[in-house]
């Protein structure tokens, strides 16, 4: 956890009153696409942090993407102001990645990293929306 790490609460894409991290009493996580959860009238929480994913055996879209577990760990760490929480929660993920790497898994860089360094070896998408997203990744535009 760093001093500038924070949680930003949104409802239907609009920021709500700036609640301090102390005002958030509970949260739940859901793994999947955000669009699937809009109908449940839930609040979206955005993490503002510069940590990189430790889930290196999976390709993330950007360098700043985190797994659901990592997001939950960071959110709890911020809410409770206790870095030990993040370390404790992420220890099994680190062990999983370490075990899989020892048994033949490869480290995966983000799609953003691969594109910027000319290492992306898959065919470029034909879909204009997907092409546009890849362009934005290359040009350092926040998606």
Domain encompassing residue 38 = 6-108
Pick the closest to residue 87 from 76, 98, 103 (CA basis): 76
Domain count, the chain: 1
Rg (CA), the chain: 17
Residue 142 lies in a domain: no
Residue 1 lies in a domain: no
Residue 104 lies in a domain: yes
C-alpha 119/C-alpha 110 separation (Å) is 11
- pLDDT band at residue 133 under the 50/70/90 scheme: confident
Q: How many CB atoms lie within 10 A of CB 53?
A: 19
Q: What pLDDT, in 10s, does the model give residues 101-123?
A: 999 999 998 888 888 888 888 88
Residue 101 lies in a domain: yes
CB neighbour list of residue 4: distance below 8 Å, 6 or more residues apart = 48, 49, 50
Residue 140 lies in a domain: no
Residue 45 lies in a domain: yes
Residue 126 lies in a domain: no
């Amino acid at each position: 956890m760093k001093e500038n790490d924070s949680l930003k609460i949104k409802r239907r894409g609009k920021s709500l009153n700036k609640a301090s991290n102390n005002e958030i009493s509970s949260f739940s996580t859901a793994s999947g696409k955000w669009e699937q959860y809009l109908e449940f009238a839930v609040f979206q929480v955005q993490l503002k942090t510069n940590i990189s994913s430790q889930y290196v055996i999976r390709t993330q879209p950007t360098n700043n993407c985190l797994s659901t577990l990592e997001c939950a760990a960071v959110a709890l760490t911020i809410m409770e102001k206790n870095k030990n929480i993040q370390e404790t929660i992420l220890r099994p993920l680190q062990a999983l990645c370490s075990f899989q790497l020892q048994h033949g898994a490869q480290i995966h860089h983000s799609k953003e990293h691969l594109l910027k360094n000319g290492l992306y070896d898959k065919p470029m998408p034909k879909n204009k929306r997907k092409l546009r997203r890849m362009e934005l990744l290359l040009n350092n535009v926040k998606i």
